[in-house]
Structure 1
Amino acid sequence: MPFNPINAANACVRRARRFLALAGTKLPDAKIKTDLRRSALVLAVTAVDSYMHWLVYRRISEVRREGDLPKILAKLEIPFSDFASLADATIRARREDRDLRPWVQVKNAVQRRLLKETFQSYEQVGQALSLAGIEKGWSRTADALGIKTDDIKTRLNQLVHRRNQIVHEGDIKRASRPQRLQYNDVGQDEVSADVDWIAQLVTAIEQVVAAGNPP
């Protein structure tokens, strides 16, 4: 079977749950447990990011002509250097009398551009859904979960904020005049619930994608 976006997301969720399972065992240092929970939360958010990247990549791979492009994908900014490289490759291929497969070159350029993007927050995921040609992605996902889009926005963005505190700030507690090193709290049950929620969110998005756009 081909590798699909949901496979990437599920792999991240499984790894997050392994960290949580290990954090629930007897370890020589309690601080190891909290760092395992932090790692689990980071991987859970990565599940969303990974799913969206693979989804957009798959959409790009289906493009065969300009008319196949979703509107927002057609407007994606690509460095001029990529087009210069394509032009040079076209000239070389013509001289060597070989098929260049220009669409492959274009798709590779788009993929390189997307590697610089992050699809984690509510707004970023919405952009990725549009890039993949999915219409009304968030509203349909909310319907699948039986909640409101604002509920998704609030919780997802909170989790992304926690992820950023861990990744960018070492999860060190902020203070105007810090006297000693302190970390933000990270509980086992809380992170476990967050991982489960993200797994449900990605599953709902996958259902929307599989159903296709409404008529």
Structure 2
Amino acid sequence: MQSALDQFHININRVRDLIAIHNSVRAKSTSVLDLSDMLRAALVLAVSALDYYVHQIVRLGMLEIHRGLRTEPPAFSRFQISLGTAREGLKNPPDFASYLEDEIRQRHSYKSFQQPDSIADAIRLISYKKLWLEVASIMGRKDQDIKQELKIIIDHKIRSQNYL
């Protein structure tokens, strides 16, 4: 899990660097130069970093559950795998983790973990915790407010991508 967090920090630092470049160029240029694309790109990168992080921690968490290193929440047992993966796992149990990892990647490859509900659904595969209540407790805010802010960011990112 630490590798996923480390990569998230690297990705967010890239976002911060892009914003710093924007601020530096803005300070040294006139308003004639439109720098808004840099901020839109930073927003898209930030949302992408979140999405990638959720993909990574869910994949790693599911593999930890399979290996018996993490408690199995109900959503994990409802995760569907293909008959091919099940067959390969039964034929070669020691290698099943690699088949499971491929299956998780394939099943999640088309999913976007950006909206609050989709993020919470993904986290339920690896945790009993109610994600947004936990986040709200840490941030000292209401869970609905946090989810609403994230929705606004995602909606703005979607509109911004139309400009990129």
- Taking structure 2 as the reference length, the TM-score comes to 0.81
Q: Say whether the 8 Å CA contact 2:88–2:96 is kept in structure 1.
A: no
Please report how far the alpha carbon of residue 3 of structure 1 lies from its aligned counterpart in structure 2 after TM superposition: 4.5
Please report how far the alpha carbon of residue 34 of structure 1 lies from its aligned counterpart in structure 2 after TM superposition: 0.8
Establish whether residue 84 from structure 1 lines up as the match of residue 121 from structure 2: no
Which position in structure 2 is the counterpart of 1:161?
A: 155
Greater C-alpha radius of gyration: 1
Establish whether residue 125 from structure 1 lines up as the match of residue 119 from structure 2: yes
Aligned to 1:4, the other structure's residue is in SS state helix
Establish whether residue 43 from structure 1 lines up as the match of residue 45 from structure 2: yes
> Structure 1: how far apart are the matches of 2:29 and 2:71?
54
Q: Which has the higher helix share?
A: 2
Please report how far the alpha carbon of residue 77 of structure 1 lies from its aligned counterpart in structure 2 after TM superposition: 3.5
Please report how far the alpha carbon of residue 88 of structure 1 lies from its aligned counterpart in structure 2 after TM superposition: 6.2
Gaps of at least 5 residues in structure 2 are none
Please report how far the alpha carbon of residue 87 of structure 1 lies from its aligned counterpart in structure 2 after TM superposition: 3.0
Number of positions where the alignment pairs a residue of Structure 1 with one of Structure 2: 158
> Structure 2: how far apart are the matches of 1:3 and 1:150?
28
- What per-residue deviation string (whole Å, max 9, x for no partner) do you get for residues 126-145 of structure 1? 11221221412211110110
Aligned to 2:76, the other structure's residue is in SS state helix
Please report how far the alpha carbon of residue 146 of structure 1 lies from its aligned counterpart in structure 2 after TM superposition: 0.7
Supply the RMSD in Å over aligned alpha carbons: 2.7
Write the mapping of 1:40-119 to structure 2, written as runs, cut at 5 A: 40-62=42-64, 63-64=66-67, 69-78=72-81, 80=82, 83-84=83-84, 87=87, 101-119=95-113
Answer 1 or 2: higher relative contact order, Cα 8 Å, separation at least 6. Answer: 1
Establish whether residue 11 from structure 1 lines up as the match of residue 10 from structure 2: yes
Q: Say whether the 8 Å CA contact 1:20–1:37 is kept in structure 2.
A: yes
Q: Say whether the 8 Å CA contact 2:40–2:160 is kept in structure 1.
A: yes
The verdict on how the C-alpha distance between 1:130 and 1:141 changes in structure 2, with shifts beyond 3 A counting, is same
Aligned to 1:107, the other structure's residue is in SS state helix
Q: Report the identity percentage.
A: 22
Aligned to 2:137, the other structure's residue is in SS state helix
> Structure 1: how far apart are the matches of 2:115 and 2:7?
18
Which position in structure 2 is the counterpart of 1:151?
A: 145
